[in-house]
């Protein structure tokens, strides 16, 4: 195939993948290129390992479906770092097991009075780990950017320091690895793994309170790292002293360095965040829409994003341009209560009500048209409006496997494009799903 032809095919695949999975579309998709296409395999070149991993975890299904639809063949898709950037390759070595989210960088973090200290301390620590603020302890309510900042530090430090070992995990991850090490009689392996890193980052450390033995182990890990000048960064939902049943000696250590609080963002910061998030996803929204969303959602930034996702999904499904009116209709009843992510239960509720069938029917083995069609519509809507994988969607609908779900998505997707009645029906159902008030 000529180079031009291959590039055109890839552009089409990219467009199709975006349409199949609007939720995961990012501006940096433009940086992807085609590394290889032949013999039923498509390799997509990514700028760095973080984006490659993100795509493998979140976008493999949509890209595979897109490649199959565009080429008309069975195609397996893989994402890899193209070996052109030295820096990209270097950074992989220091974070082989880190699963970082490519959206969670310092660049995409909006700084305002509510998070200025937390942000500045994270930037400082990423420049000189171990000797500015150690430990660094971030706390604040859910959805205010703690995890985002931790990812950003790991990403920066990984890029900057060749060969540094950065270990980033949730508190649960730490506890689980500890328990597994004990079960396997390999405590020494666990200890040497955690006590020799250059930077240890643990998210949501408040969950340590539930595990007495893990607290003990963490205490020793902390001491070993601290004494050898290694950086420790922790996040929690409350300050050290307010975490119930946390041992006194841990509380005092967590207070040794800098404790930074993150508050809910002000209105101006919220507007800026909505704009930043829209930009990241390549959606253009006017100032009045950003302001409308920022006025409606106050406490939790995840909900701001949810509102944006809903708006985008509605615009995609109805084919309408994103306008203030559309935002008001799509979000009006919903986010005043609390913007929320759509889950598969909402979809099933709306679809079963519309077709007057029961969930048990959808989950059954019955294959009559009156059941198959609503079942396939559920699958299609769930794959477009939620973050569930095809496997999970199949699981909700009677333990069907992902190829069944894939088939349903392509069938209903086809009908959506070619049959105006189906198009209208899907738009109506989407509207109901995105407007169901929170229970």
Q: Which does 373 bind (CB under 5 to 8 A by kind): Mg ion, ligand ADP, none?
A: none
Task: Quote the CA–CA distance of 397 and 409 in Å, as a whole number.
Answer: 14
Least CB distance to ligand ADP at residue 10 (A)? 29
DSSP symbol at 38: E
User: Which one of the spans 128-136, 138-146, 410-418, 430-438 is the region binding ligand ADP (CB under 6 A)?
Assistant: 138-146
Least CB distance to ligand ADP at residue 301 (A)? 3
Q: Which does 257 bind (CB under 5 to 8 A by kind): ligand ADP, Mg ion, none?
A: none
Q: Which does 144 bind (CB under 5 to 8 A by kind): Mg ion, ligand ADP, none?
A: ligand ADP
- Chain-centre distance of CA 352, in angstroms? 29
User: Please, which of residues 113-132 interact with ligand ADP by CB under 6 A?
Assistant: 115
Using CB under 6 A, pick the residue from 148, 211, 296, 400 that binds ligand ADP. 148
CB neighbourhood size of 362 (10 A): 23
CB neighbourhood size of 224 (10 A): 16
- Chain-centre distance of CA 266, in angstroms? 24
Q: Which residue is nearest to ligand ADP (CB)?
A: 145
Six token digits for residue 298: 């106050």
Pairing of strands 199-203, 231-236: parallel
Crossing angle of helices 146-160 and 116-127, rounded to 10°: 20
User: Please, which of residues 195-214 interact with Mg ion by CB under 5 A?
Assistant: none
Six token digits for residue 367: 């294959």
User: Which one of the spans 85-93, 96-104, 139-147, 386-394 is the region binding Mg ion (CB under 5 A)?
Assistant: 139-147
Task: Quote the CA–CA distance of 299 and 277 in Å, as a whole number.
Answer: 17
| Residue 146 interacts with ligand ADP (CB under 6 A): yes or no | yes
Point out which residues pair with 12 in neighbouring strands: none
Q: Which residue is nearest to Mg ion (CB)?
A: 147
Using CB under 6 A, pick the residue from 147, 170, 238, 352 that binds ligand ADP. 147
Using CB under 6 A, pick the residue from 110, 169, 236, 307 that binds ligand ADP. 110
Q: 79-112: string of b/e by CB count within 10 Å (b at 16+)? A: bebbeeeeebeebbebbeebebbbbbbbebbbeb
Using CB under 6 A as the criterion, what x/- string covers residues 261-290 for binding ligand ADP?
------------x--x--------------
User: Please, which of residues 288-317 interact with ligand ADP by CB under 6 A?
Assistant: 301-302, 305
Using CB under 6 A, pick the residue from 52, 144, 297, 322 that binds ligand ADP. 144
Q: Which does 301 bind (CB under 5 to 8 A by kind): ligand ADP, Mg ion, none?
A: ligand ADP
Q: What angle do CA 219, 225, 228 make, to 5 degrees?
A: 135
DSSP symbol at 162: T
Pairing of strands 199-203, 166-170: parallel
Of 141 and 186, which has the nearer Cβ to Mg ion? 141
Using CB under 5 A, pick the residue from 58, 71, 92, 147 that binds Mg ion. 147
Task: Quote the CA–CA distance of 168 and 200 in Å, as a whole number.
Answer: 6
Using CB under 6 A as the criterion, what x/- string covers residues 66-105 for binding ligand ADP?
-------------------------------------xx-
| Residue 142 interacts with ligand ADP (CB under 6 A): yes or no | yes
| Residue 329 interacts with Mg ion (CB under 5 A): yes or no | no
DSSP symbol at 183: H
| Residue 238 interacts with Mg ion (CB under 5 A): yes or no | no
Beta-strand runs (E) in 345-417: none
CB neighbourhood size of 416 (10 A): 19
Of 271 and 322, which has the nearer Cβ to ligand ADP? 271
Pairing of strands 33-38, 166-170: unpaired
Which positions lie near ligand ADP, rule CB under 6 A? 103-104, 108-110, 115, 140, 142-148, 273, 276, 301-302, 305
Which positions lie near Mg ion, rule CB under 5 A? 146-147
């Amino acid at each position: 195939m000529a180079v031009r032809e291959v590039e055109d095919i890839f552009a089409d695949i990219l467009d199709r993948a975006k349409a199949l999975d609007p939720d995961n579309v990012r501006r940096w998709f433009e940086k992807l290129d085609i590394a290889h296409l032949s013999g039923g395999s498509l390799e997509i070149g990514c700028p760095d390992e973080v984006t490659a991993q993100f795509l493998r975890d979140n976008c493999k299904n949509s890209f595979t479906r897109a490649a199959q639809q565009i080429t008309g063949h069975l195609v397996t898709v893989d994402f890899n770092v193209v070996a052109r950037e030295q820096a990209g390759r270097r950074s992989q070595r220091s974070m082989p097991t880190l699963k970082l989210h490519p959206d969670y960088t310092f660049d995409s973090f909006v700084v305002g009075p509510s998070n200025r200290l937390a942000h500045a301390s994270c930037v400082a620590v990423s420049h000189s780990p171990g000797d500015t603020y150690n430990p660094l302890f971030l706390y604040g309510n859910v959805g205010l950017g703690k995890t985002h900042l931790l990812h950003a530090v790991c990403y920066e430090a990984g890029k900057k320091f060749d060969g540094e070992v950065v270990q980033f995990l949730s508190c649960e991850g730490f506890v689980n690895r500890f328990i597994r090490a004990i079960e396997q009689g390999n405590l020494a392996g666990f200890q040497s793994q955690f006590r020799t890193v250059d930077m240890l980052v643990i998210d949501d450390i408040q969950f340590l309170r539930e595990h007495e033995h893990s607290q003990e182990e963490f205490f020793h890990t902390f001491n070993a790292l601290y004494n050898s000048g290694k950086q420790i960064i922790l996040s929690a939902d409350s300050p050290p002293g307010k975490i119930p049943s946390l041992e006194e000696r841990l509380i005092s250590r967590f207070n040794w360095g800098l404790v930074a609080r993150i508050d809910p963002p002000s209105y101006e910061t919220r507007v800026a965040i909505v704009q930043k998030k829209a930009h990241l996803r390549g959606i253009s929204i006017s100032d009045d829409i950003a302001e409308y969303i920022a006025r409606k959602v106050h406490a939790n930034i995840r909900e701001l994003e949810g509102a944006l996702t809903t708006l985008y999904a509605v615009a995609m499904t109805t084919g309408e341009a994103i306008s203030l009116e559309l935002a008001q209709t799509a979000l009006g009843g919903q986010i005043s209560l609390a913007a929320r992510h759509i889950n598969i239960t909402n979809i099933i509720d709306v679809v079963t009500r519309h077709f007057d069938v029961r969930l048990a029917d959808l989950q059954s083995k019955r294959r009559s048209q009156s059941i198959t069609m609503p079942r396939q519509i559920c699958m299609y809507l769930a794959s477009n409006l939620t973050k569930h994988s095809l496997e999970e969607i199949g699981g909700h609908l009677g333990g069907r496997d992902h190829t069944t779900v894939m088939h349903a998505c392509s069938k209903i997707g086809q009908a959506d494009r070619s049959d105006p009645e189906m198009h209208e029906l899907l738009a109506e159902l989407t509207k109901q799903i995105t407007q169901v008030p929170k229970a």
